[in-house]
Every structure is written in C-alpha cells, then in structure tokens.
Amino acid sequence: MRVIEVSLRRFRGFEDLTFQPAGHVALLGEPRAGRSDLIEGLRRALTSDGVRYTTPSELDFWMLDTDRRAEVEVVVGDLGAELEQDFLDHLEAWDIDRASLAGSRRPTDAGTDETAWVVRLCYRIEWDADQEQAVHWVDFPDESDPASGTYARVSRRLLDLLPVVVVGGRRRPLRLGPRSDFRRILDGVDGGSLAGAFDDLVDSVAEAGEALAKTTDIKTSVSKVLEPVEGPLGIDAADDTLVQFAPEGGSLSDVLRTLHPAIDLGPPGHLPLARHGATASALVQAGEAIAALHSTGVVVIVDDFGEDLDSISARHLAAVFRQDAEQSWISTRRSAAIEAFSPDEVLRLHFRDDSRQIAQLEPLTTKADRVAARHLSLQLLPAASAAVVVIVEGPHDRAALDALAVRRLRRSKKALPAAYGIVVIDAGVADGSGGASAVARLASLARRLGFHTIALIDGDKGVDGKTALAAAEAAADRVVRLPDGFAIERALVDGVADDVVISTVRVVCETFDVAVPPNLDTLTGKDLLKTVVAVLKKNGGLHAQFVDLLPPKNVPPMLRRTLEAIVDSGANRLTGVLQL
C-alpha cells in the first residue's frame, strides 16, 4: 500500500494543502512548519487508534476556528489484491497519467490501462457546540455528503486491515499488552506456543497469590483485620480461605500489561528497558517497527525519527525502513537519516507569506539527474531545518563569513546568521569546481526545496561575469554580488590599512608554518593583494584564521557589508539583485 495524495484542510496549522509524494517520504522542514502535524494527520486518517485513542480539541482547528470542519483526506493506492477485495465497495479509479481521480469515463475509454484502483479516506473533526467538544471520525468521502451531514464512516475492522505501522510518540517496545506492536509481531509468528504460555502465566500468578495467602503470617494478619468486622460482613474471620491475592483486574490482559521488558545489556544485568537510557529504548523501538515490516506492503510512519539516536544508527535504521517498507514516512531533523532517501523523496515544509507550504522536487527520471540532485542535496542537508540558505562559491567564502560572524558575536554580541534561520552553504563541494555555475545549480535546487535562497557571487568582470550574474539571478531569490573585480580575498583586505594587513599576514604565516613571502613589508596595492591571496590559499585555506587574527577595530568593511547584506536579505526575505 502507498499513500499517493494527502490533503490537509484547516487541520492545525494547515489552511489548505495538497501534495502527492513520490514513493518514500523524508519529511524535513523549518521549525513549526508542520512536520508533526502532517504525521499526526496521517496517523488519524490511517489507523483506528488515531480516532480511538486521541481526544480532538480546538487546537486541531486551523486558527482555532471551530466553525468549519478540519479534514485530512488521504488517497491510498497500490493496494494489492487482498485490500482491493476488502475495500471493493469503496474503490475509486485513479487516472495514472493525470495523477488525479478518474471520475466518470466514456465507454470508449473503458479498458485502457491507465487507471488504478485507489481508496480515499477522510479524517474529519467537527465542533459540537452543544457538548462543547470536538468529535472526529474517518469516512469515505466518495459516499459521504458533508452538506447534509451524512458520512459513510469507515469501520474499525476495515481500518485495521490497512498495513500501517506508526513509530514513536508514547509507544514503548516489547509490551505484551493487547494491541501493542509487539503483540502484532507475536500474532504473526504464531508458532502455537503462545496461548498455552499465557494460560500458564495467569495460572502461576494465581497460584502464587494463593500460596502467599496461605502463609501463616498473612493468615494471622488477615484474620486480625477481619475479626472486628466479621459480624457486619457476615463472615467467619478464622476461615483462612476468605482472602486471596490476585493481580489488579486479574484478567490475562491485566497481567500482561503489568509486565515490562527488562534487558541485559551488560553489568549490572537485567534492567527495565527505560533505565538503559533513551538511545537503547529508541533502538529497540526501531527494531520492533522493522520486525513489523516483514509482512508486505507496509506503510511505516515515524515522527521525529532519530531524536534519541546517534547519527550512525539513525542513518542505518532510516535506510532499513526505506528498504523494507513499501512506503516510509520519516519526519526528522537529523540530516544523517535523510541520506538514505533519494532527493525527490524529500518533502520540505516551510513558510511562504506566513502560510505553510510543502516543497518537493519533480520526479527525477534519468540516472544523471538523480546523481546530480543527490550530490547537490547532500550539501543542503545540514540546512534541513533552516529557512534561508546562502550559497557561496567555495569553502573560503564560507570560512571567512563564518569567522566574521563568530567574531562579531564575541566582540559586539551581534547575533549569528543562524539566529535568523540562515545557513551558509558552499557550492564547491558538489563538483569540486565551485564558482558561479555551481552556485546557480545549487541555488536552483535549494529554491525548489522551498528555502529562501541567497546566492553570493564574486564581482567577476566581462562576459563570464555577466553570464554568472544572469544564472544566479534566474536560480536564486536574492543575489548579492561583490563589487566589480572582487573575490573573497579582496573583501578581506579592502579598506584595511596596509600595515595591519602585513602584520596580520605575518602572524598567520608564523602560526601556521607558511613561509613569510619575501619583501612582505614593502608591498602595497595590487602586489600586496596578490601576495595575500597566495598566502590565504595555502594549507587548504587560511581565510578564517586571517579574520580571527585581525586586531580589534579592524574588521574588513567589505566583508562586514557582505555579511550584513546576507543577514538583512535573509531575515527580511528580500529578493532581486544587490550589487555591493
């Protein structure tokens, strides 16, 4: 089974949003842009627990507007023969080419192989003004009529047939209680030993309770308690069979619920799972979910994946989910987890004009496109939850800007760009070339993923410079261009007194084992700049070190202007070209 379309209407922070995932889904996004709400919407629409064990409230309505229904509508396809038969009376035809419901077709169209059977489910919440509470349910929208308040509700039996595994939230692994994920795995194994073992368990607990009641000290104490009230109770306090000890509730499920897993992960031996720390618990939980994937066609839904995992485990487990589930929905802040997914599987939630949006890449069809997108998107991963990315030509640009930002934070308490949701990414890594064309490529991808994208380009002159500017302008929301003839190194020295530059370069050379250029003290103008460029590019780049070693009150003015322009463009979501 696969979810092929999701519509969120007035559900929590979503006013009206429809999207169609391309296979698996890695769900990223800015904080508060709705990752958890989307996952919660899916959980409520696709599982019977979603309605049964959830209390809806005003907070589930968009803008707390309880006058209108909140809805999460989901189209599921690739049902497989069994589910198609189970949902026979609710199937609708999906036009594969148009990627929408087929609606009515003319007889001449019948029989062409362009439609697939799908089922549409709609989770709805309505405010009951009389009871002052929200009511919710899942129905088949095709057979329901909201205008007259008639809804064809989906029975719990049918919902439970959907192979959906939800991971996370308050779920705990290895629980024996009824309806737990572990019980589903147990039921799937069904080697025949379970029922007998459960019966034995209940019997032994009952026997142990009885034995306890028969010990002399207990008997004596019980009769002491009962003696004063034996008249009113109409009992004989000396009767030692009067009291027995049974577990609370006493039924099998009550007994099973009281049992918690204890696990031996080394000294001091068996401890309750929770006592081993969040990571161990999260790992076992993930293991349980993966075990549940062994039936075919499962949709796995994970919120906040990897919060409690180290990045290696997160990366591994995400890859397993993606491999074993027919469709995995993994919401995460961890870039390591996303590496398992192909770029067109990434859905990025973000804000545009204060409303929640979703961004996704169009399906990538050729291998070349996939490889290119993959390498480009790997660079964007660290920015997954940022709102703004600044794309610079190479590692030196980024190093210099970062160093200045940290220096300003330390010296004058100016907030880092990160405080505005701004992350600086270097385009050079993807193909090693860097340069303006790489900036445009990466900017274009970033923009398609819904980032507010700022391209920072050098002030190259001539035809190449013009071409680079045009490409950046086409790709990014905002272009910040250094003055004509400027690259980052010139921005580091421009406007700084020559003697300050010379003394700082000397310290850099001495500190990082670089030979001090001959005649350093005598250089000026272009010659000095040329020498500085040569030194800064040594040892894989000494730009940040140069910025750090500049004496107080000698911040390079062009570098500062550049940084301020970036922060201003990002924080205020400015567009167009800014020529410094």
Partner 1 sequence: MLVTGGAGTGKTTVALWAARTELERSHNASSRALFLTFSRTAVDQIITRSRSIVAPVEERIEVSTFHSFAYRLVRRFGHLAGLTDRNPEVQSASQLKLLGKAPDRLVYDDLAPLARRVLDNPQVAELLEQRWCMVICDEFQDTGDSQWELLERLGEHARLLLLGDEHQLIYGFLAKSGVTPQRMHDTRAWVDRAVELEPASHRDPSGAIPALATAVRQRRFSDPAVRDAIELDRFFVRSGVRDDSAVSAIGSALDAAWTRGCRTFGVFAHTNQSVAELSSRLAEAGIENYLVGLPDAEADALAAMLALTQYAYGEVDWPIVSVAFGTYLTACSRGAAPALARSLAAGTALPTVLQGRVDDLRAAVADAAASSLSDVADVAATAWVSLGINDSDAPWQRAAPAFQSLARQSARMPVGQTSTLSTAVSQLRLGAMFESRRRRLPAVQVMNLHQTKGREADAVVILCDDDDFHGREAEPFIEGSRLLYVTLTRARREVTVILGDDPHPLVAPLAALG
Parallel/antiparallel/unpaired status of strands 388-392 and 70-77: unpaired
Q: 102 or 381: whose CB is closer to partner 1?
A: 102
Asked if residue 110 binds partner 1 (CB under 8 A), the reply is yes
Kindly state the number of chain residues that form the binding site for partner 1, as judged by CB under 8 A: 27
Cα 456 to Cα 331: distance, rounded to the nearest angstrom: 31
DSSP letter for 362, please: P
3-class SS letters over 224-283: HHHHHHHHHHCCCCCCCCCCCCCCCCCCHHHHHHHCCCEEECCCCCEEEHHHHCHHHHHH
Stretch that binds partner 1, among 110-118, 277-285, 456-464, 520-528 (CB under 8 A): 110-118
**Distances, alpha carbon 540 to alpha carbons 395, 501, 512, 517, 535, in Å:** 9, 20, 11, 17, 10
**Cis peptide leading into 146, omega within 30 of 0?**
no
Q: Which H/E stretch holds residue 549?
A: helix 543-549
Q: 161 or 206: whose CB is closer to partner 1?
A: 161
Asked if residue 89 binds partner 1 (CB under 8 A), the reply is yes
Count CA within 13 A, CB hemisphere, residue 164.
Answer: 24
Asked if residue 241 binds partner 1 (CB under 8 A), the reply is no
DSSP letter for 150, please: B
- Largest distance between two CA atoms of the chain: 114
Q: 89 or 354: whose CB is closer to partner 1?
A: 89
B/e letters for 545-569, b = 16+ CB within 10 Å, e = fewer, are bbbebbeeeebbebbbbbbebbbeb
Q: Specify whether the CB–CB gap between 120 and 48 falls below 8 A.
A: no
Identify the CA nearest to 210 among candidates 158, 245, 185.
Answer: 245
Kindly identify the residues of this chain, within the stretch 136-165, that bind partner 1 according to CB under 8 A: 145, 147-150
Q: 150 or 221: whose CB is closer to partner 1?
A: 150
For residue 69, the minimal CB distance to partner 1 (Å) is 13
Asked if residue 84 binds partner 1 (CB under 8 A), the reply is yes
Cα 178 to Cα 49: distance, rounded to the nearest angstrom: 13
Q: What are phi and psi of 124, to 5 degrees?
A: -130, 145
Q: Which H/E stretch holds residue 158?
A: helix 156-161
3-state secondary structure of 487: coil
Choosing from 54, 93, 287, 395, the residue that interacts with partner 1 (CB under 8 A) is 93
For residue 105, the minimal CB distance to partner 1 (Å) is 6
Q: 105 or 219: whose CB is closer to partner 1?
A: 105
Q: 88 or 265: whose CB is closer to partner 1?
A: 88
Asked if residue 81 binds partner 1 (CB under 8 A), the reply is yes
Q: 91 or 372: whose CB is closer to partner 1?
A: 91
Bridge partners, 127 (sequence order): 134
Asked if residue 187 binds partner 1 (CB under 8 A), the reply is no
Q: 88 or 418: whose CB is closer to partner 1?
A: 88
Identify the CA nearest to 336 among candidates 5, 2, 28, 6.
Answer: 28
Stretch that binds partner 1, among 111-119, 310-318, 425-433, 482-490 (CB under 8 A): 111-119
Choosing from 104, 131, 241, 366, the residue that interacts with partner 1 (CB under 8 A) is 104
Choosing from 2, 77, 78, 91, the residue that interacts with partner 1 (CB under 8 A) is 91
Choosing from 55, 107, 197, 368, the residue that interacts with partner 1 (CB under 8 A) is 107
For residue 139, the minimal CB distance to partner 1 (Å) is 13
Amino acid at 83: L
For residue 143, the minimal CB distance to partner 1 (Å) is 9
Cα 298 to Cα 325: distance, rounded to the nearest angstrom: 5
Choosing from 55, 64, 97, 111, the residue that interacts with partner 1 (CB under 8 A) is 111
For residue 140, the minimal CB distance to partner 1 (Å) is 11
In the structure encoding, which two tokens stand for residue 134, read together?
Answer: 């929200």
For residue 290, the minimal CB distance to partner 1 (Å) is 25
Q: 111 or 232: whose CB is closer to partner 1?
A: 111
Q: 116 or 549: whose CB is closer to partner 1?
A: 116
Q: 119 or 559: whose CB is closer to partner 1?
A: 119
For residue 77, the minimal CB distance to partner 1 (Å) is 14
Asked if residue 106 binds partner 1 (CB under 8 A), the reply is yes
Kindly identify the residues of this chain, within the stretch 458-497, that bind partner 1 according to CB under 8 A: none
For residue 142, the minimal CB distance to partner 1 (Å) is 9
Asked if residue 88 binds partner 1 (CB under 8 A), the reply is yes
Q: Specify whether the CB–CB gap between 39 and 303 falls below 8 A.
A: yes
Asked if residue 105 binds partner 1 (CB under 8 A), the reply is yes
Asked if residue 102 binds partner 1 (CB under 8 A), the reply is yes
Count CA within 13 A, CB hemisphere, residue 331.
Answer: 24
Q: 106 or 413: whose CB is closer to partner 1?
A: 106
For residue 150, the minimal CB distance to partner 1 (Å) is 5
Asked if residue 531 binds partner 1 (CB under 8 A), the reply is no
Amino acid at 393: E
Please give the residue ranges that form the binding site for partner 1 (CB under 8 A): 81-82, 84-86, 88-89, 91, 93, 102-111, 113, 115, 117, 145, 147-150
